[in-house]
Structure 1
């Protein structure tokens, strides 16, 4: 574990090689006049494609789109390997030694929750785009955290609620055994029961490292549930869907509910395997003129020339709004008080090419519309990455948990 942690720290340092090469006194002077953003995510594992280097590219695009800010912005990145101890050590080094002002992205809810606590302790800023647990704006909300793109309540409301109303009233969950999976199963179960459905059982799968889901799928099938809820993400979701197809589970009338599915997952599966899958996202590159314009600008910098996922788009939009707030209040004041920056972000309406207009609530939850999509049939697609059709738009004021129901201490009754 010591070597793993050290490797994670070294990756963070290597990503900032130009900064680290400066003499210490010069580096400290530069840190005092520049804003430094640390992109923390999975650079090498099962969440790499949906987050990873593409998130860093989107943060850099936000800086480019803002043009002359009147101050310098530096970006570094590191791989937390989906481990809370590795992520915590990287963030402590960034904040204590390297002068990082904003930590952004952070898939894997167990890491996200740990990072939120450290950033609050150090009074810096944390914009979560990819960690999904709704507890980040509920029982563990913080004046230093903004939760931008999606959360488990939103996903449960979008996909879970819609499938129950469409007749999928009995469920069995295959759940990643960590904070994200637990929260997603919990929130979806609440929607299932509220809509008159039942949960017949669940099984928790080790995370990370599980690749063979056959025994879990057999248990799900044996329950005779109409819907198998996949409370996982990334490579785990891809493997579940592929193996379910191999067993012929969906041919027997059972529906799969991918509760957190990204366009990179659909790409990896292919339309033949993924067609008909219902999923909820808050961003799609081909949704409107603004999302297409953003995709055109950032795509040359993206891995494999792919369009951004909603997680990566959240990094773009979050960084953009943060830097607008810094410009508004001044670099010195922003570096001195992270909670004050977040307060300024909440006071300013948001507007960007990824999500359009929106607001940040007192609990730190970013509010915007959400879309229920269906994956197209192969013959419906017009070309590469043309994968979704809109089934339903959930208005911003209905897409996320009501402000007074999360238990956030920042919300006044």
Structure 2
């Protein structure tokens, strides 16, 4: 009898543990979009990121593993402490299994570590720092759309090929700007170029005159703008007002979104060389996605939007294939499954979390070449994925087997 009571007690204990787990497994699968809704990076993320993730959820059918899908959204306000607190609450208390977008590299670097701590998944589409798959890689995060290495690799190589080897950097003073300058400088020097100098400007500034005077005084042939958001747009406008291009210097944008070109206007941005992961008018598949997206948002998608959709869809397909939302099993499925959609053909997620795919070097059209409001870019060259991103032989990621 005593043994029976012990067995019954143990069975009750196991049941009490199992019930909440069973309830949790039958509840909704939640995806978080942690982004900049109202700040200077909102035109690169914000409403577009939310729309793209929701479109992917809807196109998947609104359910996975027989459970409803929910999308939760928060504005991190470009404050790492807000982002970390939100991510931790979502993972621990709200049942969120994956967080997407993560614009602002400082925030992405912080939240991917939270994902590691909580054994959940984070997918970065908004931010670019190559540290995310280098020294700060995690087994729980994926860097999907682009990174600073690929951006610098494409633009620097193209301009050096054109004979423009002397560079000067005008760099936004935050994590992304620093990483972009570092990666571009390395590539310029590796290809026989030189860096004459650099200056860093606060990301909150709207007055670039002092920095432009320094760039103008440099003997460099290329003035490379290493920044993003509205401050990048303001910097390009300032470069135009100071006549940098008219003086014979090439102004290179190291991260240029289609929305940036649209905001600048072709009169100001024409001729600029840039590298991108996606352009809405590339082929029939990109145009089909762009049509659906524009009907919803009012503009064509850029590479962040396209990456948010593609990565969410890849995540959901991997959850379905794995038969679970367990992070380790889903990450394994995501890494073993090729990505073939409108965003990437033959895309693959490496052991460092880098999604490898082709990148594209574009030139901004002249007003005369453009046939419409969003007809902005013409293709210069395609960079195969294995050449676009940092090779694993140079990686500092501890997950990479040497």
| Same topology, TM > 0.5 | yes
* Contact 2:26 2:67 (C-alpha < 8 Å) held by counterparts: no
The residue aligned with 1:111 is 107
User: Is residue 57 of structure 1 aligned with residue 51 of structure 2?
Assistant: yes
CA deviation string 1:117-137 (max 9, x = no partner): 001000000010111111111
Q: How does 1:351-370 map to 2 (within 5 A)?
A: 351-370=340-359
CA deviation string 1:250-277 (max 9, x = no partner): 1000111100000000000011111101
Residue 98 of structure 1: how far off its partner (Å): 1.3
Cα distance between partner residues in 2 of 1:51 and 1:115 = 16
CA deviation string 1:283-321 (max 9, x = no partner): 00000111011111222221xx10111011110011000
**Among 39, 46, 49, the residue aligned to 2:40:** 46
Residue 174 of structure 1: how far off its partner (Å): 1.1
Cα distance between partner residues in 2 of 1:35 and 1:161 = 43
- Give 4+ residue runs of structure 1 displaced > 6 Å after superposition: none
Residue 232 of structure 1: how far off its partner (Å): 0.1
**What CA RMSD, in Å, does the superposition of the two structures yield over aligned residues?**
1.6
**Among 305, 308, 313, the residue aligned to 1:312:** 305
Cα distance between partner residues in 2 of 1:259 and 1:212 = 20
Q: How does 1:206-225 map to 2 (within 5 A)?
A: 206-207=202-203, 209-225=204-220
User: Is residue 349 of structure 1 aligned with residue 333 of structure 2?
Assistant: no
- Residues 370, 223 of structure 1: alpha-carbon distance in 2 compared, 3 angstrom cutoff: same
The residue aligned with 1:201 is 197
**Among 152, 157, 162, the residue aligned to 1:161:** 157
Q: How does 1:126-205 map to 2 (within 5 A)?
A: 126-205=122-201
Please state whether the residue corresponding to 1:292 is helix, strand or coil.
helix
User: Is residue 253 of structure 1 aligned with residue 242 of structure 2?
Assistant: no
- Residues 114, 32 of structure 1: alpha-carbon distance in 2 compared, 3 angstrom cutoff: farther
Cα distance between partner residues in 2 of 1:363 and 1:291 = 28
The normalised TM-score by structure 1 is 0.89
User: Is residue 94 of structure 1 aligned with residue 90 of structure 2?
Assistant: yes
* Contact 1:31 1:99 (C-alpha < 8 Å) held by counterparts: no
Residue 33 of structure 1: how far off its partner (Å): 2.4
* Contact 2:40 2:231 (C-alpha < 8 Å) held by counterparts: yes
Residue 165 of structure 1: how far off its partner (Å): 2.1
The residue aligned with 2:8 is none
The normalised TM-score by structure 2 is 0.92
Q: How does 1:240-279 map to 2 (within 5 A)?
A: 240-279=235-274
Cα distance between partner residues in 2 of 1:75 and 1:84 = 21
Instruction: Judge which range, 248-257 or 356-365, deviates more.
Output: 356-365
Cα distance between partner residues in 1 of 2:156 and 2:175 = 19
Residue 154 of structure 1: how far off its partner (Å): 0.2
* Contact 1:134 1:152 (C-alpha < 8 Å) held by counterparts: yes
Larger radius of gyration between Structure 1 and Structure 2 = 2
* Contact 2:293 2:299 (C-alpha < 8 Å) held by counterparts: no
Cα distance between partner residues in 1 of 2:163 and 2:198 = 20
The residue aligned with 1:74 is 70
Cα distance between partner residues in 2 of 1:297 and 1:30 = 34
The residue aligned with 1:294 is 289
Cα distance between partner residues in 2 of 1:387 and 1:358 = 26
Cα distance between partner residues in 2 of 1:78 and 1:315 = 15
The residue aligned with 2:380 is 391
Contiguous gaps of at least 5 residues in structure 1 = 1-24
Instruction: Judge which range, 312-321 or 76-85, deviates more.
Output: 76-85
